[in-house]
Amino acid sequence: MRQRIKLAAALVHDPAVLLLDEPFNGVDPRQRGHLMRLLRTMGEEGRTVLFSSHILEEVEQLARHIEVMVAGRHAASGDFGAIRRLMTDRPVHYTVSSSDDRGLAAVLMRAQCVRGVAMAPRGGLELQVDDLGAFAAGLPGWARDAGITIYELVPTDESLESVFAYLVAS
């Protein structure tokens, strides 16, 4: 109830800028969903909504533009996907499923831009890629030449949580 009262007091004046500290603390799941919709709507209306949170999944659901603080210092700013792509010193991780995972693994192990290939526990492959550009340009041709169909290719470390973990480790 205290959180709701604080939020109501902040919203009563219809502010153009809203600054919230851990707005989801102590809020039940139903209220959390309502608050997330409210903050998203405010942003879509052109208002500035700044909030701090240690629950990165909630931040990721609400905002693409982030400011990351690590040990009291500003570590990164912007779209977390773009921040991740700028971390060229870290391999990009993918899962891929295909018509012939073992055959594709053999093809990918020969590619210089691929650092590692492993069979995924539930099928498919887990990849580590050093040169995203070379990988993106080469994969369709490599698969086609081997007669393999790619069903799905998903980056597994392009999340706010992985970006934060990389920044903390730096």
Place 115 in a pLDDT band, splitting at 50, 70 and 90.
Answer: very high
Q: What is the pLDDT of residues 21-63, one digit of tens each?
A: 888 888 888 888 888 898 888 888 888 888 888 888 888 888 8
Q: What is the pLDDT of residues 128-154, one digit of tens each?
A: 999 888 999 999 999 999 999 999 999
Q: What is the DSSP pairing of strand 92-98 with strand 73-79?
A: unpaired
Identify the residue whose tokens are 């604080």.
6
CA pair distance 38, 44, nearest whole angstrom: 10
Q: What is the pLDDT of residues 52-94, one digit of tens each?
A: 888 888 888 888 788 888 888 888 888 877 777 777 778 889 9
Give exposure, 92-131, as e/b (b: 16+ Cβ within 10 Å): bbbbbbbeebeebbebbeebebbeebeeeeeebbbbebbb
Does the predicted model carry a pTM greater than 0.85? no
CB-based contact 101:125 (threshold 8 Å): yes
Identify the residue whose tokens are 């099928």.
123
Instruction: Kindly list the structural domains of the chain, giving each domain's residue range(s) and its CATH number in brackets, ordered by start.
Output: 2-63 (no CATH), 85-163 (3.30.70.100)
- 16 contact partners, CB below 8 Å, separation of at least 6: 47, 48
CB-based contact 143:104 (threshold 8 Å): yes
CA pair distance 95, 104, nearest whole angstrom: 12
